[in-house]
Structure 1
Amino acid sequence: MTAKLYTRKGDGGATSLFSGRRAEKFDPRVGAVGDLDELSASVGLARLAYPSANDLLRSVQRALYTISAIVSAEDRPIEMTFSDAEVIALEDEIDRISERLPELREFIYPGADEASCRLHFARAVARRAERAIAGLVEPAAPATSLTFLNRLSDLLFVLARQADYSHGRSDATFKT
């Protein structure tokens, strides 16, 4: 017999963290982990819409699972690490893509292409996840995790621009 997916343990409004502690579903740590989960799902949608970035975005999803485990583990030691190397890899990719794009001096509107819209949406979710983790009282994850999320939103932004340009569309800019 196959194990059932549901456990009924969360029906009363609490859930278990990786640390083993039960937490209310409105607990900020649970919210941060949920934002990271939503970010991974939105990155998955972006992968489908922009397959040329599939490998890069899959590696991003792996990093997001690591960050999520670290945040959910609280003080429980786990063997997962997160280092400056992941941040540097994002910065290198941002620089590589940016070199091929026109310089940007204005805000742009997302919406020229489905792929770029999905990438922009993932960018906005990355910013929310970053805010959620930064808002936790105690350090919930290494500082590199916050830096990674910050750079991830930049990467998703330049990927969105690249998607537009690769499909023959230019930036729709906002002018005051």
Structure 2
Amino acid sequence: MRIYTRSGDKGTTSLIYGQRVPKNHLRVEAYGTCDEANSMIGLALSFVEKEVDWDEKQTFIEMMHRVQTVLFHVGSELATPEDKEVVWKLKQVHIDELEEQIDNWQTHLPELRNFILPSGSSASAALHSARTIVRRAERMIVGLKEELPDTLVFSYLNRLSDFLFVAARFINLKSNGEERTLNINH
């Protein structure tokens, strides 16, 4: 199979079911931003493999792989025209899993008393970057709210950014990375 099709050479791409839209269409921007977040999570995991050594490392990696897979579900919903059926629909269990993991990691972390700066280990910094990319995707999809009335995409992305924030803190803890707090005296 060839990787190139030449069908996008004039600045358009296909949504699911074949509808052609400009490559700067809000749906394309939104699922492209989710893809960017997915790639940044992959980069973070490459650092986790090298930087972190603890018994539950593989469990952490598997959880992140599930998140990467669910981001494809998000992309599927965003790439499906509003009058068509979504093939890979998000489910409440996807959000519940994030919340459960956030609560679990929080029990191991020091209480948050200040804003923290994205810092510490490379894995933590990459997870913070993924978090900010997810926040950008959230801001983009607000413009699609009327086209996505019965979706969990909004809730999932909101929770995912919280999840990535706590994951970044947790990885810093496990990799002995320094968590820097905001110094308001500057």
Q: Structure 1 stretches of 5 or more lacking a match?
A: none
TM-score by length of 1: 0.92
| 1:54-93 pair list within 5 angstroms | 54-74=61-81, 75-93=83-101
Distance 1:34 1:90, change over 3 A: same
Please name the residue that 2:122 is paired with: 114
Offset, 1:147:
0.9
Distance 1:144 1:114, change over 3 A: same
1:61-105 superposed Cα distances (whole Å, 9 cap, x missing partner): 111101111111112113322121111110010000011100012
Offset, 1:10:
0.6
Q: Which amino acid aligns with 1:7?
A: T
Number of matched pairs = 174
SS at match of 2:152: helix
> Root-mean-square deviation (CA), in Å?
1.5
Distance 1:168 1:78, change over 3 A: closer
**In the aligned structure 2, how far is the partner of 1:109 from the partner of 1:169?**
12
**In the aligned structure 2, how far is the partner of 1:143 from the partner of 1:78?**
10
Identity fraction in percent: 37
Q: Which amino acid aligns with 1:70?
A: E
Q: Is the 8 A contact 1:106 1:173 kept in 2?
A: yes
Offset, 1:141:
6.8
**In the aligned structure 2, how far is the partner of 1:124 from the partner of 1:175?**
21
Q: Is the 8 A contact 2:76 2:87 kept in 1?
A: no
**Match among 2, 5, 24 for residue 4 of structure 1:** 2
Please name the residue that 1:21 is paired with: 19
Q: Is the 8 A contact 1:16 1:23 kept in 2?
A: yes
Q: Structure 2 stretches of 5 or more lacking a match?
A: 50-56
TM-score by length of 2: 0.87
